[in-house]
Amino acid sequence: MKKHNFSAGPCILPQEVMQKASEAILDFNGLGLSLIEISHRSKDFVEVMDTVRSLALELLGLEGKGYEALFLHGGASLEFLMVAYNLLENKAGYLNTGTWSDKAIKEAKLFGEVVEVGSSKDKNFNYIPKGYVVPKDLDYLHLTSNNTIFGTQIKEFPKTDCPLVCDMSSDIFSRQLDFSQFDLIYAGAQKNMGPAGTTLVVVKEDILGRVSRQIPSMMDYKVHIAKDSMFNTPTVFSVYVSMLTLQWLKDLGGIAAIEEINEKKANLLYSEIELNPLFTGFAKKEDRSLMNATFNLADESLTEVFDTMWKEAGINGLNGHRSVGGYRASMYNALSLESVGILVDVMSDLERKG
């Protein structure tokens, strides 16, 4: 039986995407060869790369607006330093909303001065700081749109005079935003796109080339743009599955359609967390994430009973991150409303038994 997969990432992908991906492993496009044994310079793979790059821009509404989409290696963690390598000449601002922002800050400090414009560390990152002041003289401001571990999400983005950079690893393609307010967006594939391996970077070309340092080729966004995201051998499988997922999303009606479903899923679960006295939500209500719901049992002595119940219901991946504890239900694009319904049923069953 296929499990209800609430894992935080790597995570659930659409079943039909996995079906097509497994077929391509055996025979890609009827070539009599596997996707993973053909040259990345072959016509068939070049077409995959071209398609996924244009699909990404199309779904984000950024076609023809001076942006390039790249599918690189190294995960979002490499972008922590690539962003600074390419953009940080003097001073950058970072909003510290948790573990991943913290790691991005650490890397950026290797390249220049970093100002933490705001932080929610005082409350173990259970909220998004607001009303912070963005200094005028920044090379860029860096935000993390969705905090996978703590279950918070930025709902309103600041207006800035400097380039705006955003780590969207755990909520890319999940909700409608004016993506043109960002100058650089990056996201590891392994949540809403595909298997781990590739990282989507969407960058507005005119913010590049402003730093005076020499940038090694693999670290240089301009090099990757000039080579159509094929400077070296790409992570072909991850890129291919990302293409299938983005096609699946487009056929579904794009981000507008998935946002509606994501809101239904999140409303269902958050209502249960609010109404069921056995549970308490971790993140501040107004900042709660549509993707990762974090919650705790009000009475920890029920842990064993609850854990047994959700596992018996075929649920996977509900344990919270060690820095928060409790539970985290990740409801990425491919997770169905039905799966959330199963979890909510288990939670209300616990209340009835309790």
The residues binding ligand PMP (CB under 6 A) are 9, 75-77, 100, 144, 148, 167, 169-170, 188
Q: From 186, 205, 100, 109, select the one nearest 147 (Cα to Cα).
A: 100
Beta carbon nearer to ligand PMP, 169 or 262: 169
Beta carbon nearer to ligand PMP, 239 or 347: 239
Q: From 247, 238, 317, select the one nearest 75 (Cα to Cα).
A: 238
Is 287 a residue of the active site? no
310 is in an annotated binding site: no
The alpha-helical segments, DSSP class H, found in 157-253 are 221-226, 236-252
For the bound state, the minimum distance from the C-beta of residue 187 to ligand PMP, rounded and expressed in Å, comes to 8
The DSSP element (H or E) to which 345 belongs, if any, is helix 337-353
Burial class (CB in 10 A: 0-12, 13-18, 19+), 212: exposed
For the bound state, the minimum distance from the C-beta of residue 328 to ligand PMP, rounded and expressed in Å, comes to 11
| H, E, C per residue of 248-309 | HHHHHCHHHHHHHHHHHHHHHHHHHHHHCCCEEECCCHHHECCCEEEEEECCHHHHHHHHHH
Instruction: Please answer whether residues 199 and 186 qualify as being in contact, where contact means their C-beta atoms are separated by less than 8 angstroms.
Output: yes
Is 100 a residue of the active site? yes
Catalytic residue among 139, 167, 183, 287: 167
Q: For CA atoms 279, 282, 286, 291, give the dihedral sign.
A: negative
- Residue nearest ligand PMP by beta-carbon distance: 75
148 is in an annotated binding site: yes
Beta carbon nearer to ligand PMP, 245 or 306: 245
For the bound state, the minimum distance from the C-beta of residue 217 to ligand PMP, rounded and expressed in Å, comes to 21
233 is in an annotated binding site: yes
Beta carbon nearer to ligand PMP, 40 or 73: 73
For the bound state, the minimum distance from the C-beta of residue 75 to ligand PMP, rounded and expressed in Å, comes to 3
For the bound state, the minimum distance from the C-beta of residue 41 to ligand PMP, rounded and expressed in Å, comes to 26
- Which residues are paired to 119 by β-bridges? 96
251 is in an annotated binding site: no
Beta carbon nearer to ligand PMP, 74 or 314: 74
Beta carbon nearer to ligand PMP, 330 or 339: 330
For the bound state, the minimum distance from the C-beta of residue 183 to ligand PMP, rounded and expressed in Å, comes to 18
51 is in an annotated binding site: no
Q: What angle do CA 127, 278, 330 make, to 5 degrees?
A: 50
In this structure, what are the phi and psi dihedrals at residue 33, rounded to the nearest 5 degrees?
-140, 155
Residue 131 backbone class (left: φ over 0; alpha: ψ -120 to 50; beta: rest) = left
Beta carbon nearer to ligand PMP, 82 or 244: 82
190 is in an annotated binding site: yes
Catalytic residue among 139, 191, 220, 310: 191
Q: From 270, 292, 290, 289, select the one nearest 281 (Cα to Cα).
A: 270
137 is in an annotated binding site: no
For the bound state, the minimum distance from the C-beta of residue 191 to ligand PMP, rounded and expressed in Å, comes to 7
Q: Can you tell me whether residue 316 is helix, strand or coil?
A: strand
- The residue written with tokens 């279950």 in the block is 151
Q: How many CB atoms lie within 10 A of CB 132?
A: 13
100 is in an annotated binding site: yes
Q: For CA atoms 320, 321, 322, 323, give the dihedral sign.
A: negative
Is 191 a residue of the active site? yes
Q: From 333, 352, 340, select the one nearest 262 (Cα to Cα).
A: 333
Residues annotated as part of the active site:
100, 167, 191
**Residue ranges at the known binding site:** 41, 76-77, 100, 148, 167, 190, 232-233
> Where is the binding site for L-glutamate, in residues?
41
